[in-house]
Amino acid sequence: MTPPTPPKRPRASSAVRAPRALEPRTAAAAVGAALAFRGITDDIRASRMLTEWADLVGPKISARTRPYGVTDRVLVVEVASSAWMHELNLLKVQILAGLHDRLGEPRLFDELRFKLAGGRTAGAPRPRPPARPAQPSRPPPQPATGLAREQIIREAEKVDDAELRELIARVRIANDR
């Protein structure tokens, strides 16, 4: 009696697998093909825009902006102040062209819109800053006496200006330093 043969697993259809290349290719090309097959190349490119923002727009602009996201083919960028928003609106065409050049085709967005970072709606209450913990009070400084006072006076005598010498001696004696 022969043991029963295990049932054969059905093969995955070619619709589920990425097509294999017949020729050798670089790792970058293989990863690019796998991403394209899964339809996530635009997501990767959008993530690249977030992580490489400083390289894409330069250090001066990136220090005061950050990409907020892409909605309906509009890239929304948060800006630190209204003065910077005004300046960037004047440079919008150049910034948009530079981003398109650096990110390549197909375009992730067609328009650029700036918004104030942390912007509030009109009439919304301003959030209160967190309360600071109470600082422990320091005891008042003790004035220098005896040998410490004499040492301070001797050191202050090295200063040529009489007014400055007197001020240094008085402050150091009052604070025992």
Region 120-141: mean pLDDT is: 63
CB atoms within 10 A of CB 95: 21
* Residue scoring higher pLDDT (61 or 22): 61
Residue 94 to residue 7: CA distance in whole angstroms: 64
Is the confidence at residue 95, as pLDDT, over 60? yes
Residue 116 is predicted with a pLDDT of: 92
Q: Indicate whether 94 pLDDT > 60.
A: yes
Delimit the domains of the chain by residue range.
27-116, 146-175
Question: Is the model's pLDDT at 16 over the cut of 80?
Answer: no
* 111-134: average pLDDT: 68
pLDDT tens, 134-153? 677 777 778 888 888 899 88
Using an 8 Å Cβ cutoff, are 169 and 148 in contact? no
> 35-49, 50-64, 141-155, 160-174: which range is least confident on average?
35-49
Spatial neighbors of 114 by CB under 8 A, at least 6 apart, are: 65, 76, 77, 78, 79, 85, 88, 89, 92
Q: Is 66 helix (H, G, I), strand (E, B) or coil?
A: strand
- The predicted model gives 116-133 an average pLDDT of 62
Q: Is the pLDDT of residue 120 over 60?
A: no
Domain 27-116 has CATH 3.30.300: yes
Whole-prediction pTM value?
Answer: 0.47
CA distance 136 to 140: 12
Whether 37 shows a pLDDT value over 70: the answer reads no
